């Protein structure tokens, strides 16, 4: 079973969620899950990951979003 790297960026304002997510991506362990609690953070992390060539799926869970980032 694959271990999933999880980044909890809830409560952080941008650009911190993007910085934390990018750091996790640079470590090379996939998939990476990023948990955020604002639409702005969701959009910014998604845009950053996609610009680097990764696939992002988003699941809304209550008042937060779980982004799963995988290699294409």
21, containing H or E segment: helix 16-26
Q: Find, among 29, 67, 71, the residue nearest to 54 by Cα.
A: 71
Query: What phi and psi, each to the nearest 5 degrees, are found at residue 30?
Result: -120, 150
pTM beyond cutoff 0.75? yes
User: Tokens in use for 53?
Assistant: 């060539």
User: Which homologous superfamily does the CATH classification assign to the domain defined by 5-71?
Assistant: TusA-like domain (3.30.110.40)
For the chain, what are the domain ranges?
5-71
List the 54-61 sheet strands across, edge first.
5-8, 32-36, 64-71, 54-61
Q: Find, among 71, 60, 52, the residue nearest to 5 by Cα.
A: 71
**Weakly modelled stretches of the chain, pLDDT under 70:** 1-2
């Amino acid at each position: 079973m694959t271990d999933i790297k999880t980044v909890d960026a809830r409560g952080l304002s941008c650009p911190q969620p993007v910085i934390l997510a990018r750091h996790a991506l640079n470590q090379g362990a996939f998939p990476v899950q990023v948990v955020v609690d604002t639409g702005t953070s969701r959009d910014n992390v998604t845009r950053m990951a996609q610009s680097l060539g990764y696939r992002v799926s988003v699941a809304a869970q209550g008042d937060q979003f779980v982004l799963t980032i995988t290699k294409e």
